[in-house]
A and B are shown apart, each in its own frame.
Chain A
């Protein structure tokens, strides 16, 4: 029994490491999207949900796990995970039903109920009131049961370890592991905001309006879910539960040891190229030194769109005009730059593709 438990622990710990967790979530999401009609059936989704609950409850027998999960400021993240899980399921389930109906030539579920209007008085007011009262009650109980987790006064000389951002920024903080602050902290968030703003101008597909569907908006929904679930929610989860002192990775059952040190020697593309491959010292001039990285970046930016237009986004390329396609592809390239660098880190201990400390440009 102990061996089985130990084995399970080992599995969970291994799977929880970012290098496995992020790909796993990615693969799971792709599979879900591909087989959404099967996966969202209560018969299938129910046991999956149950499994997650069993995992959580069972893991709570572990002291370290319990300690992290029940930390007063981590409880909302647990709730967030459940609500994300539920809402994704709900939308996909509805989409599945609607898509099946559409195949049969029936109208979507939403069309079958005339629920688009509600009486303000008394119905809407009543519902709003109930929600207000209910939420206030919830907050009251929450405040009584889980008081604010106040810590010692902030001292510049004794900063907390780990120093964590607020939960909604933990995704960003996780990006900082892979990229320089100016890129992960400034460029990428800007591009996220810009991209979200650009959606109405890019996505002019009128379908799926007022009802759930996947078939009719496959590309849009997939890209959104990958961005949201894999590169936001998964990273928040990692940041909250799995990043401990010194921003080291700790398995869900591990003790957060301040002294833990991890053997990690990251290297740059230039080092791989000049030292490892050509077996010589580094060139003095930065532009020579960083040539391989610069070439790679240029290739990524120039050849990437062409490649995409020819392959994955063939259809989209035909649908959109050149300006909008360029915008979409640019945004996609920014999005891809994150997993690309992550893969580089996990596979080759890649530190920077371009490393020009002379001008503070590191990519």
Chain B
């Protein structure tokens, strides 16, 4: 610093005092330093870094525990290896001199090699130069000169190269010599390297070392940019993009930054050891493994911020662990606490809060571990359902799908609040009941505390009470965001897609699963796992693979050997799938369009859910119709028909501005009843134009008692004489689909409770909601509704009256239909019939007509008045009825000619959930502003958004969605489905693309659900609801497990098309055709009705069953086999545990002739003829052999059946000739065909199907 001229100090104009400046400078510098420290600190202490540091520390602890355990476990191995090593060393020491000599040589030759290699590489340059010159030089002399040189250089090069090779091979030889001399040591090392435990130990130690390495320095603030131990885990997804309209960047997720263990196995509660009183768990090794994994995991699960109690609890783990392993006896493999006894003590907390052994009470270690795990932080855990959801082998591995495509929220945020976490609703509910929440004004909604009646009792009007309770239930409580749970400052304002709470997470599935959802299904069939791809069965081919089908001729089903399947946990997609089912079942699509190009299942929706109204006048009696419209549930509590009237926004007295401009009041009820009057009047008039003439029926000819037997079957035990065998030939099993009000409890039926353990399914079967007795309408009061003539006509031909009905043709005779009609007409509801008829007020009707003219036709008021007053009452009613029919969108569910091309009245839902929140009109409804809450509240109380809105003088501006009376669960599920309808661009590669088999199953399940097949049959292990009604096993509709390999595709197709008349081509039959009306089971009382499936549906059913069984479903003729052939071309599942071919001594020569003879002899010996017949006229007890020959059964199935009938159909009277009751082979019993069961079965099968006459 140059010296300041002293004069300036005295200069009064000199303004700046250097001391002051210095002070100022110091101050600002200190401030800057503090600012920089704050900045660095803020960066260093970011929450995710803390999380990762904690995770690293606990990983270190986990590793140390693992090291300890591994050390203990491998102690004996290590000891024996050490011993071997000592021996080997001794061995090697003997050769010391030789080794030393070799090593000297090795050193020499290593030097020689290096030197020669150097020289060779140098000489090579000369060659290269000469080669270059030859190409470039043009002077002939010079060229000759270089050519000469090149030859010389090449010679040199070759010589040196040779020398290098010589040195190299000599060196190798010497090295091998040394290795030979030291081979004993090498063998020991190899053993050590191969031992899995030691290998693991080495890995663990590596991990420990890595964790230790420099971690302190690398973590230092400001230095941590060099090689930080903490890193943001960023995942950039290729196939999943964000939708910013016109820009579709790849999705980025950083959730793994904090959820450190979410994608690693072993940090989940499911992995804890099961309670110790289970005897199996006393298997020492198994338990040891489980405990070890559990302990190390739970140690990893504790964070440093945990309460001391929890930390102490983990310390206990250490104690327990070391204690246990101290007792571990490596030789016997037994572990135990009391001197090696296999008895585990219980544990109890002592005064210090530690766990100590106790004789009485207390918890087992397993229970104790469980309690620790339950307190584990969420983000320390493995993702639930790891193997199905995010695991590398699952359908949605983390690396490909990420997190926020399902969970929503902001993927690239590494901050709890900014990632937009959403708390579980249950937790919020719990929080809201705390005193503090009450204090801060968070109240649990009314409904959590009271019912509708109670709410009204508390001085609320019906509407208010409806609001207070309508959108909530006891089990499902609305949440409001609580700051306490958000940890941060609550919701992030600017993020449009907050994370789904747990209960709604399924809403994301539909983004990719538009084609459907499917869990792998494998049939386990009579102990034989069908078609399971298996290395032992290389000839397995994929289902539906036609190329393979021709190349592997004959081997139609590849059945592996006896197989113990892994039983995955049962999984029922309750939310989304059942919501979708309800959406379709309640016909929501009638008013709310769902684009079929986006949602392919909409393509297969055939019809409107309600019956057509074109002939309503001939179907129902007059007084019924109006009362029904007014309140459908009062007639039929379980009906899907919703209620439009007397709801919260139209049931009250409202002020109305009349056409003359004056205000007046009208009672809501009166208004509603007038509307109903008009609608019914119009419908009747309209349907009179089209109704066909009904047959004249004399119902008195019908016998109601017989009708009852036909409808109910032999169920009703309370009426002796009507049940039992008397009805067995007559029952039509109407109650499979209809509720007629008899003892519903008695009809409850649990397929799983049946003794069909053997015939079970592996995998999930939870799909859809089975309708069972809700399939058809409840018939308890049918007599009060319909006209008998119509009922008779309907029973004879349901499709003739309603093209799209699901009601099948039961092929009733005239008398049967009369009987059933007579019986059903006796079912009446006095209460409904006697309920007051609706009021008809002409003045209100006129007002309504004027109002509608103005509101719907947009006419000027004075013109409307002139027009309407000029009409007769009937004309007014017609006009009002038709307009209202349109206004309320009745045509959404019911076909009627006048509105056959009308557009639906509801909002389109295809991308509904992508609407911004503020575009949803919630008004004053006291609900959370979220898409789900909007739709949930709307479903529970469709008029809720009129709450508190002063619209009452405009009756046709009110909300008009009717009340379906959804339960809380239904509303939640439908809500989940509706909020799943988003416009989220998922690239085709990321979607669920079902293969042929999956598609067949998805489509098949739709049909099975649509026609309620499971009401009678057990399909995929579920259903058979009618079974308890039928007392004898053999009269029950069959369990369709294995249907795919049982019947031939073409037969099943024809059967589905028309079960009553099956004609199958069969070369052996006269004319090549077996004429129909072949009753497969003549003794059955309940007949498979004719459902009138379309070809597509029938084909889909065939494919579905084939897909379930992994059997081919090509409609080609099945491969045939004759005894004159070589006898092997037939498809036979390899079901035999012992293959005779493997045993050369048993090989016998079988000719076609002796095969036929032997088969005939077997047929005689087993007395097949005594039960089975082949004559069409004889109704034998066992199936007629004609069926086996009419292209019905698959040959491979017949072989299975002969092998073990009891396992296919429990309790069958068919004896098992080849295996015993428990599936043990009995082949030795008979000496036919060399005692070879496989040959015997084939021969017998072929004889019965081809040669027996």
Interface residues of A (CB under 8 A from B): 113-115, 118-119, 121-123, 126-127, 129-130, 133-134, 136-141, 143-144, 151-158, 258-259
Say yes or no: A126 contacts B28, CB within 8 Å: no
Q: How near does chain B come to A220, taking the closest CB pair, in angstroms?
A: 30
Cβ of B1150 within 8 Å of any chain A Cβ, yes or no, is no
How many angstroms between the C-alpha atoms of A259 and B923 in the bound complex?
10
Say yes or no: B245 contacts A126, CB within 8 Å: no
How many angstroms between the C-alpha atoms of A154 and B15 in the bound complex?
53
Residue contacts A-B, CB under 8 angstroms, 30 given? A115-B15, A118-B15, A122-B1, A122-B18, A123-B15, A123-B16, A123-B21, A126-B25, A133-B25, A133-B28, A133-B29, A133-B31, A134-B28, A134-B31, A137-B31, A137-B34, A139-B35, A140-B32, A140-B35, A140-B36, A140-B38, A141-B35, A151-B494, A152-B494, A152-B496, A153-B242, A153-B244, A155-B247, A157-B245, A158-B916
How many B residues, CB 8 Å from partner?
34
Task: Tell me the B725-741 residues at the A interface (CB within 8 Å).
Answer: none
A interface footprint on B1-45 (CB within 8 Å = 1, 0 otherwise): 110100010000101101001001100110110111011001000
Q: How near does chain A come to B152, taking the closest CB pair, in angstroms?
A: 73
Cβ of B246 within 8 Å of any chain A Cβ, yes or no, is yes
Query: Which residue in chain A gives the minimum CB-CB distance to B921?
Result: A259
| List of B residues within 8 angstroms of A136 by Cβ | 32, 35
Cβ of B569 within 8 Å of any chain A Cβ, yes or no, is no
Task: Tell me the B911-947 residues at the A interface (CB within 8 Å).
Answer: 916, 918
Say yes or no: A126 contacts B21, CB within 8 Å: yes
Cβ of B151 within 8 Å of any chain A Cβ, yes or no, is no
Q: A153-B242, A155-B244 are in contact. Are A119 and B31 (CB under 8 A)?
A: no
Known contacts A113-B13, A114-B13, A158-B916; 11 additional CB pairs below 8 A are A123-B18, A130-B24, A130-B28, A133-B28, A136-B35, A137-B34, A137-B35, A144-B35, A144-B39, A155-B244, A156-B245
Q: A137-B35, A151-B494 are in contact. Are A144 and B42 (CB under 8 A)?
A: yes
How many angstroms between the C-alpha atoms of A121 and B18 in the bound complex?
11
Cβ of B495 within 8 Å of any chain A Cβ, yes or no, is yes
Query: Which residue in chain B gives the minimum CB-CB distance to A136?
Result: B32
Q: How near does chain A come to B416, taking the closest CB pair, in angstroms?
A: 15
Q: A118-B16, A123-B16, A143-B39 are in contact. Are A137 and B32 (CB under 8 A)?
A: yes
Q: A113-B13, A155-B244, A156-B246 are in contact. Are A130 and B21 (CB under 8 A)?
A: yes
Task: Tell me the B664-682 residues at the A interface (CB within 8 Å).
Answer: none
A interface footprint on B312-353 (CB within 8 Å = 1, 0 otherwise): 000000000000000000000000000000000000000000
Residue from B29, B242, B495 whose CB has the most chain A CB atoms within 10 Å: B29
Q: How near does chain A come to B21, taking the closest CB pair, in angstroms?
A: 5
Interface residues of B (CB under 8 A from A): 1-2, 4, 8, 13, 15-16, 18, 21, 24-25, 28-29, 31-32, 34-36, 38-39, 42, 242-247, 249, 410, 494-496, 916, 918
How many angstroms between the C-alpha atoms of A118 and B8 in the bound complex?
11
How many angstroms between the C-alpha atoms of A151 and B8 in the bound complex?
56
Say yes or no: A258 contacts B918, CB within 8 Å: yes
Query: Which residue in chain B gives the minimum CB-CB distance to A161?
Result: B918
Query: Which residue in chain A gives the minimum CB-CB distance to B41?
Result: A144
Say yes or no: A156 contacts B15, CB within 8 Å: no
| List of A residues within 8 angstroms of B494 by Cβ | 151-152
Q: How near does chain B come to A111, taking the closest CB pair, in angstroms?
A: 12
Query: Which residue in chain A gives the minimum CB-CB distance to B242?
Result: A153
Say yes or no: B245 contacts A155, CB within 8 Å: yes
| List of B residues within 8 angstroms of A119 by Cβ | 8
How many angstroms between the C-alpha atoms of A134 and B29 in the bound complex?
7
Say yes or no: A156 contacts B13, CB within 8 Å: no
Residue from B21, B25, B28 whose CB has the most chain A CB atoms within 10 Å: B28
| List of A residues within 8 angstroms of B495 by Cβ | 152
How many angstroms between the C-alpha atoms of A134 and B26 in the bound complex?
10
How many angstroms between the C-alpha atoms of A157 and B496 in the bound complex?
13
How many angstroms between the C-alpha atoms of A136 and B494 in the bound complex?
30
| List of B residues within 8 angstroms of A158 by Cβ | 245, 496, 916
| List of B residues within 8 angstroms of A259 by Cβ | 918
Say yes or no: B32 contacts A133, CB within 8 Å: yes
Say yes or no: B28 contacts A137, CB within 8 Å: yes
Q: How near does chain A come to B1044, taking the closest CB pair, in angstroms?
A: 48
Q: How near does chain A come to B109, taking the closest CB pair, in angstroms?
A: 66
How many angstroms between the C-alpha atoms of A152 and B410 in the bound complex?
9
How many angstroms between the C-alpha atoms of A119 and B31 in the bound complex?
26
Residue from A118, A121, A133, A139 whose CB has the most chain B CB atoms within 10 Å: A133
| List of B residues within 8 angstroms of A258 by Cβ | 918
| List of A residues within 8 angstroms of B410 by Cβ | 152
Query: Which residue in chain B gives the minimum CB-CB distance to A139?
Result: B35
Say yes or no: A129 contacts B25, CB within 8 Å: yes
Q: A155-B244, A156-B246, A157-B245 are in contact. Are A126 and B16 (CB under 8 A)?
A: yes
How many angstroms between the C-alpha atoms of A141 and B369 in the bound complex?
47
Query: Which residue in chain A gives the minimum CB-CB distance to B13?
Result: A114
Say yes or no: A130 contacts B25, CB within 8 Å: yes
Query: Which residue in chain B gives the minimum CB-CB distance to A142?
Result: B35
| List of A residues within 8 angstroms of B245 by Cβ | 155-158
Q: How near does chain B come to A284, taking the closest CB pair, in angstroms?
A: 28
Q: How near does chain A come to B524, taking the closest CB pair, in angstroms?
A: 50
| List of A residues within 8 angstroms of B35 by Cβ | 136-141, 144
| List of B residues within 8 angstroms of A114 by Cβ | 13
How many angstroms between the C-alpha atoms of A4 and B1183 in the bound complex?
97
Query: Which residue in chain A gives the minimum CB-CB distance to B497?
Result: A152
Say yes or no: A154 contacts B39, CB within 8 Å: no
| List of A residues within 8 angstroms of B42 by Cβ | 144
| List of A residues within 8 angstroms of B918 by Cβ | 258-259
| List of B residues within 8 angstroms of A115 by Cβ | 13, 15
How many angstroms between the C-alpha atoms of A24 and B870 in the bound complex?
63
How many angstroms between the C-alpha atoms of A134 and B34 in the bound complex?
12
How many angstroms between the C-alpha atoms of A93 and B4 in the bound complex?
36
| List of B residues within 8 angstroms of A122 by Cβ | 1, 4, 18, 21
Residue from B21, B32, B496 whose CB has the most chain A CB atoms within 10 Å: B32
Q: How near does chain B come to A80, taking the closest CB pair, in angstroms?
A: 22
How many angstroms between the C-alpha atoms of A141 and B35 in the bound complex?
5
How many angstroms between the C-alpha atoms of A141 and B39 in the bound complex?
8
Query: Which residue in chain A gives the minimum CB-CB distance to B412?
Result: A153
Q: How near does chain B come to A126, taking the closest CB pair, in angstroms?
A: 5
Query: Which residue in chain A gives the minimum CB-CB distance to B21?
Result: A126
How many angstroms between the C-alpha atoms of A180 and B311 in the bound complex?
69
How many angstroms between the C-alpha atoms of A126 and B1 in the bound complex?
12
How many angstroms between the C-alpha atoms of A123 and B243 in the bound complex?
57
Query: Which residue in chain B gives the minimum CB-CB distance to A117?
Result: B13
Residue from B34, B35, B496, B916 whose CB has the most chain A CB atoms within 10 Å: B35
Query: Which residue in chain A gives the minimum CB-CB distance to B32?
Result: A137
Residue from B8, B21, B243 whose CB has the most chain A CB atoms within 10 Å: B21
How many angstroms between the C-alpha atoms of A151 and B413 in the bound complex?
12
How many angstroms between the C-alpha atoms of A118 and B36 in the bound complex?
32
| List of B residues within 8 angstroms of A151 by Cβ | 494
| List of B residues within 8 angstroms of A123 by Cβ | 15-16, 18, 21
| List of A residues within 8 angstroms of B24 by Cβ | 130
Q: How near does chain B come to A156, taking the closest CB pair, in angstroms?
A: 4
| List of A residues within 8 angstroms of B4 by Cβ | 122
Say yes or no: B28 contacts A144, CB within 8 Å: no
